[in-house]
Amino acid sequence: MAISSHSIDLDFDHNHLWHPYTSVNNPLPVYPVFRAYDVFLELEDGRKLIDGMSSWWAAIHGYNHRVLNEAIVSQMQRMSHVMFGGLTHEPAVNLAKQLIALTPQPLQKVFFSDSGSVSVEVAIKMAIQYWAASGQFSKNRLLTVRSGYHGDTFAAMSVCDPVTGIHSLFKGTIQKQFFAEAPACRFHEPCTDRDLADIRLMLEQHHMEIAAVIIEPVVQGAGGMKFYAPHYLVRLRELCDRYDVLLIFDEIATGFGRTGKMFALEHAGIVPDIICVGKALTGGYMTLAATMTTDRVAYTICSGNPGLFMHGPTFMANPLSCAVASANLSLLASYDWQESVLRLEAGLRQGLDSCMELTNVSDVRVLGAIGVVELHRPLDMAVVQKQFVDKGVWVRPFGRLIYLMPPFIMHDEELRILTAAVCDVVKTMQ
């Protein structure tokens, strides 16, 4: 085992670094990483952890991948960044070509941003500006379903679950949106009129105020890791068309193969007016996201006042990010990634199935390269995290959920160790 010749100053980290979703009064333990490669995180003390999270769902090809490393180095030697206002460059053009080729034909316009949350902000602004350019200024609010999660910035927070969501504290300072009941139909179940009743009523009563419906297709991610019937999206598209409302798909977590399709929308066979992608776009190497829309939306926005789209991030279309994203999508196309995801799906089902026998487990569900064990009660994060590390795996639970989103390149034996660790830890919590 390689051990770092120097150590991270954990006292400084403890006293000065504010980690995500943690308290400075009672911070959770952090584990110093020396290096990462393949599907492993190697800690400073030499321990090697199998990564079950793909670094928050992004590192689909693992770490330190030769192809992606070379793309970064090659681009860095040409230019690491230039502003995108008034300039363009080959990595952005190539990546946009790939995204347009991968997504349904109507999605022809690509707007790059720095993160998934910002891509949602962009989508919301596009929808509102579209209706303003059409002279319908009253259509300036969003409709979504409960249990959703769309990011941490302010407009994105406004469409996260207002009651159980992690952003409920800000409900008095963010725009009030419309919320319908989340679909109850599970992935392989039929979608009934009852599942659509609440959102249909919202659209019927408020469509003159609603700019767009925003939803995570098929999989509700950080809001509860729930899988619902693709047919719900078919019916939702029909409702949006009937009531003249745009449809936004947030594919930040589901895009690029995670559910067994390149994009989750393919399970339903329908096309939104706007789509947000991020996370796995660069294979976890750099922060980058994109918001894609139709010619109709783009040209309408730019035909109204002020004649352009009102957004422009400083690091928009960063060449390093675009170059590694392009290499990542080419890498994905170079092998049978669907077979890999189906293999992971089978391994997750087999490995997590025994958890259903445990009294503290309410549900076990698997879709593509996503495995979820839902408990009856919330877990103690600090205790459970250490148990996983002691078993040689990296799993980051939240609330009542222990979930896995492994890299696509994970081997069967590594997946077996990962799922066995989940079952063992859940057993200790009974």
Half-sphere exposure in the Cβ direction for 167 (13 Å, CA): 26
CA atoms of 265 and 119, how far apart (whole Å): 17
DSSP 8-state assignment for residue 281: G
DSSP 8-state assignment for residue 149: -
Residue 225: φ, ψ to 5°: 50, 50
Indicate if 232 belongs to the active site. no
- Catalytically annotated residue among 109, 130, 279, 403: 279
User: Taking CA 222 as the corner, what is the angle to CA 357 and CA 12, rounded to the nearest 5 degrees?
Assistant: 105
- Catalytically annotated residue among 9, 13, 21, 299: 21
- Catalytically annotated residue among 149, 228, 243, 403: 149
Residue 89: φ, ψ to 5°: -160, 160
For the chain, state the CA radius of gyration: 22
- Catalytically annotated residue among 250, 261, 285, 403: 250
User: Taking CA 392 as the corner, what is the angle to CA 390 and CA 395, rounded to the nearest 5 degrees?
Assistant: 90
Residue 237: φ, ψ to 5°: -60, -40
Work out the number of other CB atoms within 10 angstroms of the CB of residue 109. 20
CB 341, CB 368: distance < 8 Å? yes
Work out the number of other CB atoms within 10 angstroms of the CB of residue 178. 18
Indicate if 48 belongs to the active site. no
Picking from 403, 250, 419, 400, the residue whose alpha carbon sits closest to that of residue 346 is 419
DSSP 8-state assignment for residue 311: -
Indicate if 279 belongs to the active site. yes
Indicate if 13 belongs to the active site. no
CB 155, CB 120: distance < 8 Å? yes
Query: 103 in helix, strand or coil?
Result: coil
Q: Which residues are catalytic?
A: 21, 149, 250, 279
